[in-house]
Amino acid sequence: MVKIDATYDGNLRCTATHVKSGATLRTDAPLDNNGKGESFSPTDLLSTSMLTCIMTIIAMRAESKGLEVKGMKGSVTKHMASSPRRISKLEVTVSLPNHLDIDERTWLITEGCNCPICLSVSEEMEVEINFE
């Protein structure tokens, strides 16, 4: 279990704290939604989570087989829909190192696509919301 605390700072910004480590990050509403766009928006974080989760799982699986993927790169492009406002599409690109053979690449791609974020982002996602 991981706990994240957050504070609304005003001006459509929040600061979130990873309780165990004390690491913080700030979110800002995007320009197209009345924000200043000076930091990650909440939907940017979901998009970033998808990309970095895929890359992290690939790295974990590679390590378990003694494969080196340091220098792997990736990007994600987020598309928004307006009614209702939501992420309509994520375009994810991951570039694996060239030294991997086709079987290693195929296996790592399959493993990466089974990351917890990929498996969680769906219409069947259970969400529990509590108000205090």
Q: Which whole number is the average pLDDT over 15-27?
A: 97
Query: So what's the pLDDT on residue 119?
Result: 86
- On the question of pLDDT at 132 being above 60, the answer is no
- On the question of pLDDT at 41 being above 90, the answer is yes
- Gap between the Cα atoms of 39 and 11, Å rounded: 13
Query: So what's the pLDDT on residue 98?
Result: 92
pLDDT class of 126 with cuts at 50, 70, 90: low
CB within 8 Å of 131: residues ≥ 6 apart: none
Query: How do residues 48-92 score in pLDDT, each as one tens digit?
Result: 998 999 999 999 999 999 999 999 999 999 888 888 888 888 888
Query: So what's the pLDDT on residue 70?
Result: 95
If DSSP codes are grouped into helix, strand and coil, which group holds residue 14? strand
CB within 8 Å of 19: residues ≥ 6 apart: 2, 3, 4, 5
Per the structure block, which two tokens stand in for 1? 């279990």
CB within 8 Å of 11: residues ≥ 6 apart: 36
Query: So what's the pLDDT on residue 129?
Result: 59
- On the question of pLDDT at 124 being above 60, the answer is no
- Gap between the Cα atoms of 47 and 44, Å rounded: 5
Query: What are the angstrom distances between the C-alpha of 95 and each of 22, 76, 101?
Result: 31, 12, 14
**Three-class HEC string of 49-87:** HHHHHHHHHHHHHHHHCCCCCCCCEEEEEEEEEECCEEE
